Amino acid sequence: MIIKDILIQEIESLTEAQLAEALEQIRLIKTKKPNPPHRKGSGKPILRHAGRWVGNDLKECLERVYTSRGLAEF
């Protein structure tokens, strides 16, 4: 059975309120723009800041990291 036939069977069992909701969803699907293809990031924006620390709280931040991390669970 093709998808269109299955959809028709499902539609025939819906109430009027459900049909209105289904119609709204179908219209949303039809107007939805496709997502552009995803490109992998190069990481260059992050590397631009690597090795740079601004401020005088590096030691405090590192201590906070060490005291708040726990064991990894897999």
Q: Is residue 56 part of a domain?
A: no
Q: Is residue 72 part of a domain?
A: no
Range of 7's domain?
1-33
Q: For the residues of 21-53, what is the DSSP string, one character each?
A: HHHHHHHHHHHPPPPPPPPPP-SHHHHTTTT--
Closest alpha carbon to 25 in 7, 49, 45: 7
Rounded to two decimals, the pTM is 0.44
User: Amino acid identity of 7?
Assistant: L
Q: Is residue 16 part of a domain?
A: yes
Q: What is the pLDDT of residues 14-67, one digit of tens each?
A: 999 999 999 999 999 999 888 888 777 777 777 777 777 778 888 898 899 888
Q: Is residue 27 part of a domain?
A: yes
Number of domains in the chain: 1
Q: Is residue 17 part of a domain?
A: yes
